[in-house]
Chains A and B, each alone.
Chain A
């Protein structure tokens, strides 16, 4: 649905985004992760047609998004900037009606009515936006982003600064976008949010460092591991396993062992080995590194490669 090929953007001598290629399918949510200044917002602005790339191409449903077509193509994209950007003195309805007209919707009023109902904003339609809480403003901004029924939705830190309840509400709305078969790219620093909503994760630091499902990234970086807890003699059994070629890290109450299902070091083989050595196994737990560990590890690797 949305594809970027070898996308680059420079501001003078400064490279903001370099050689970025990614594709997002319909009904897919891709999370864009990266440190501050990594080029996330620039990437979203490029993909929304707000700014032009210095190099590379962007296609929406196969149609190129270039300077000549940008105005028309922008109606196929819904872009939520980091700030809600509502006209504060105007009411919720006035904000939405203005955007419905700007997008050239046939019946702005009924489109706004439908949107207000969808986002549960009907009872606040007549309130000026300055009266709204931050969470409600974000909900109105999301309603505005989706008012023209875009196929591609780009969200720049949609839950930033929201309380947990509002953030959860926004996440629920984001997940609904996948159900509606839209292609969604969401920029965020919230790794918990990524775990909850994203199908794939793209890690960016000017260049795309990695893009895959969270599970595949974990597996690629850390392999599969299990944590085995024993009643006693932890060090002795760890040494015995290491002698058999197992990659073992001794922990406070057990040991973390790399597992390879295709070889002798499967989890069941390891347990059998320990039991045969007389160990009393109390627990065997699959070990899953957090997405934060994966993310930090990717950035570390990238920086050491660059250095």
Chain B
């Protein structure tokens, strides 16, 4: 464990010296943050039409039924709450984007900088090395996710109807941010680290790691279409599935991390 901490501390120190690596992630997060506000606040304001006037009263009714905190809201507020809750999945994608390049570059970067050989000459085991590399991208991902969620709540508090922000502090929305987002990020980053240990360049690893974005994106679209509802049961099933996927990915990462092949065959 001390070796994991040592390598993690080194990677985080290295990232602090290279903040530019997070610029794409910050941009992605800003876009993800802006979109729901555009849909729920800007567009109705520009067209002078409240959300409740657009015939989406069913959404308000659904919120009154499923979220006790929404019952204190008027129809516009309830629909805003519905929109802001659905877009939480989009926010979950931001931390993935934040750390994908870090994870994808984790092993290939060491190899390209010729720092991997002395590192592998230490007593560090493959499990420790992989764990440190995954954590080194996971920690910034979580930090960014927390920051984005904080900004999201603050923005809703300021721009949306009073009381809308409180609906996002219900168990289900919180489970999306506190359970689903970290697990999905971890799976994605593990996939990227795993690919980084096998692929020949960071771009390939990044593309493979990004695969996890596709199901999350699909989830967002299905929710907005009303074809899928994130209930407590579906959330739990997804969390269990992602936890199992993470365990499997950790095992696969360790198995595919072939020290000899990385040292002797990579150019």
Contacts and interface: CB of A to CB of B under 8 A. Distances in A.
Contact of A45 (B10, B14, B263): B263
Contacts of B113: 85, 87-88
B123 A87 contact: no
B7 A51 contact: no
A88 B115 CA distance: 9
A71 B116 CA distance: 15
A85 B114 contact: yes
A71 B125 contact: yes
B203 interface: no
* Max chain B C-beta neighbours (<10 A), residue from A75, A98, A102: A102
Contacts of A42: 264
A180 to B, nearest CB: 20
B6 A98 contact: yes
Interface in A112-163: 128, 141, 144-145
B117 interface: yes
B9 A83 contact: no
A86 B115 CA distance: 6
B49 interface: no
Contacts of A141: 118
A102 B6 contact: yes
A101 B3 contact: yes
Interface size class of B (residues with CB under 8 A): 20 to 34
Contact of B121 (A50, A83, A88): A50
Nearest to B117: A81
B42 interface: no
A77 interface: yes
A101 B8 CA distance: 11
B9 A51 contact: no
A74 B263 CA distance: 16
Contacts of A50: 117, 120-121, 259-260, 263
A206 B6 CA distance: 38
B264 A144 contact: no
Nearest to A80: B118
Contact of A104 (B3, B10, B119): B3
A144 B10 CA distance: 15
B263 A51 contact: yes
B123 A98 contact: no
A98 B7 contact: yes
A86 B117 CA distance: 10
Q: Is the interface of B mostly helix, strand, loop or mixed?
A: helix
Contacts of B14: 87, 89-90
Contacts of A80: 118
Contacts of A88: 113
Given A101-B2, A104-B123, A79 B264 contact: no
Contact of A74 (B13, B121, B260): B121
B255 to A, nearest CB: 15
B124 interface: yes
A207 to B, nearest CB: 19
A85 B263 contact: no
B17 interface: yes
Interface in A37-57: 42, 45, 48-52
A153 B10 CA distance: 25
B152 to A, nearest CB: 32
Contacts of A71: 123-125
Interface in B100-129: 113-125
A275 B122 CA distance: 66
A146 to B, nearest CB: 12
A90 B17 contact: yes
B166 interface: no
Nearest to B10: A98
A51 B5 CA distance: 25
Contact of B122 (A45, A74, A89, A90): A74
Given A50-B120, A50-B260, A89-B14, 20 more contacts: A49-B121, A51-B260, A51-B264, A71-B123, A79-B118, A79-B121, A81-B114, A81-B118, A85-B113, A85-B116, A85-B117, A85-B119, A94-B10, A98-B6, A99-B118, A101-B2, A102-B123, A103-B122, A128-B17, A141-B118
Q: Report, nearest first, the 7 A-B pairs whose CB atoms are least far apart.
A: A101-B6, A89-B17, A83-B114, A102-B122, A98-B10, A79-B121, A81-B117
Interface of B: 2-3, 5-7, 9-10, 13-14, 17-18, 113-125, 259-260, 263-264
29 contacts: A45-B263, A45-B264, A49-B121, A50-B259, A51-B264, A52-B260, A74-B122, A74-B123, A75-B122, A80-B118, A81-B114, A81-B121, A85-B119, A89-B14, A89-B18, A98-B6, A98-B7, A98-B9, A98-B10, A99-B122, A101-B3, A101-B6, A101-B9, A102-B6, A103-B122, A104-B2, A104-B3, A141-B118, A145-B118
